[in-house]
Structure 1
Amino acid sequence: MAAAAGGDGGDGPAPAAAPGRAQLFSTVVDTFLEKLVTAGSYQRFANCYRCFYKLQPQLTRSIYDQFISQLQTSIKEEIEEVKNEGNLEELFNSLDKIVEEAKDREEPAWRPSGIPEQDVRSALVPYLRKHRAHLRRALRHKEERNGRVAESVLMGRDSIAELQQLIQARQQAWQAISKEQRELIMTFQEPQ
């Protein structure tokens, strides 16, 4: 098949290999550092330290160059530390290997059916049904609890109404007794 496709039996030069993820990551980091240097131009630095720049422009340039160099070094060291701690180099290589192995496959490697919608549905529907059943149980429980609370509120209102009637009856009785006591006291105080 290679002979039919290539025409020369595969004796020609091999196609250039695509850069690996580790190489791409390094390129992105280098590009970032270049953009950082161009974004923080010397002219801005000089404007910030205008008085010092006017007195000693060569020293200002030297300080700027040292600052940029140390900043780049510091960023590179931090990125290398992250790469080492996260074992990124090995992970990038294993990803490249997985992609390379999957190139010759015709069927989808990671989807059971090959149809994304069906695969998502088959994975999510059972979970969503279980979640819906859980929510329905929780809702039923809350409704029952709210019903009990509503009943107790109504019973409390009835109890309050009965107590208000009792208070009113006792108040009226007390007022009647108080009136009788005043009348009795008045009768004793009348001059004879």
Structure 2
Amino acid sequence: EIVPQKSCSSGTAAPPSNPSLEQLLDYIVDVSLRKIVEAGSYHRFAKCYSHLYKAQPELTKCVYNQLISHLQTSFREEIQDLKEEGNLSVLFKSLDELAEEEDIHSAVVPYLLKQHRFLQKAIKEKEEANSWLAEAVLAGRKRIADLQEEIRKSKEEWQAVAQEGQQIVSSLDEL
């Protein structure tokens, strides 16, 4: 029986763990070729070429094996040429990096959102404290203004009393 040839990927029956997109494509190609070989069995081939099969069964088997091998090789070469012409390796790598970045985002974003909520709460608390302090400062300024007004009035009263006292002393001096 024909065993599919190995491509650039692992060539195993199971897909590679955490594969890149290019490895995944190679795996799909291998599986597809294996399915094609299984679907187009030697018995069908022999039936189509029954005259050759009856005359030389071993030659028929050899032709079949060479045909399948050639088809697999040609198919893999065509896929490789397409990958090279389309610069698919670079594109696959870029897509893999984007997927990895997306994975990082999915892990980091919840943490950042939690941090954002924490910082928003801290900002709100600080704003409330600042508001209270601003009110206290305004009340302090008002108290200072009130005290300055009281001092001004007391000073004016004292000056009036002092002036009145001087007038009294002057009037007493005249007497």
Normalising by structure 1, what TM-score? Answer: 0.46
1:58 maps onto 2:58 in alignment:
yes
Task: Tell me: CA distance 1:89–1:65, structure 2 relative to 1, closer, same or farther (3 Å).
Answer: same
Task: Tell me: CA distance 1:67–1:17, structure 2 relative to 1, closer, same or farther (3 Å).
Answer: closer
Unaligned runs of at least 5 residues, structure 1 = 1-15, 108-192
Amino acid at match of 1:19: P
Deviations along 1:54-94, one digit per CA (max 9) or x if unpaired, are: 11000000010010011111111110000000111111111
Q: How many Å apart are 1:17 and its aligned residue?
A: 6.2
Please give the alpha-carbon distance, in whole angstroms, between the structure 2 residues aligned to 1:18 and 1:55. 51
Counterpart of 1:21 in structure 2 is 21
1:35 maps onto 2:15 in alignment:
no
Partner secondary structure for residue 103 of structure 1: helix
Amino acid at match of 1:68: I
Counterpart of 1:48 in structure 2 is 48
Counterpart of 1:91 in structure 2 is 91
Amino acid at match of 1:66: Q
Please give the alpha-carbon distance, in whole angstroms, between the structure 2 residues aligned to 1:92 and 1:57. 45
Superposed, 1:94-173 pairs within 5 Å as: 94-106=94-106
Partner secondary structure for residue 46 of structure 1: helix
Q: How many Å apart are 1:30 and its aligned residue?
A: 0.5
Unaligned runs of at least 5 residues, structure 2 = 1-15, 110-175
Partner secondary structure for residue 104 of structure 2: coil
Please give the alpha-carbon distance, in whole angstroms, between the structure 1 residues aligned to 2:49 and 2:102. 57
Q: Let me know the Cα RMSD of the aligned residues.
A: 1.6
Amino acid at match of 2:85: E
Please give the alpha-carbon distance, in whole angstroms, between the structure 2 residues aligned to 1:23 and 1:37. 21
Q: Which has the higher contact order (CA 8 A, sep 6+)?
A: 2
Deviations along 1:144-191, one digit per CA (max 9) or x if unpaired, are: xxxxxxxxxxxxxxxxxxxxxxxxxxxxxxxxxxxxxxxxxxxxxxxx
Q: Which has the larger radius of gyration?
A: 2
Please give the alpha-carbon distance, in whole angstroms, between the structure 1 residues aligned to 2:17 and 2:54. 53
Please give the alpha-carbon distance, in whole angstroms, between the structure 2 residues aligned to 1:104 and 1:64. 50
Please give the alpha-carbon distance, in whole angstroms, between the structure 1 residues aligned to 2:73 and 2:24. 19
Q: How many Å apart are 1:104 and its aligned residue?
A: 2.4
Deviations along 1:97-125, one digit per CA (max 9) or x if unpaired, are: 11111222256xxxxxxxxxxxxxxxxxx
Amino acid at match of 1:105: H
Q: Where do 4+ consecutive residues of structure 1 move more than 3 Å?
A: none
Normalising by structure 2, what TM-score? Answer: 0.50
Partner secondary structure for residue 75 of structure 1: helix
How many pairs were matched up? 92
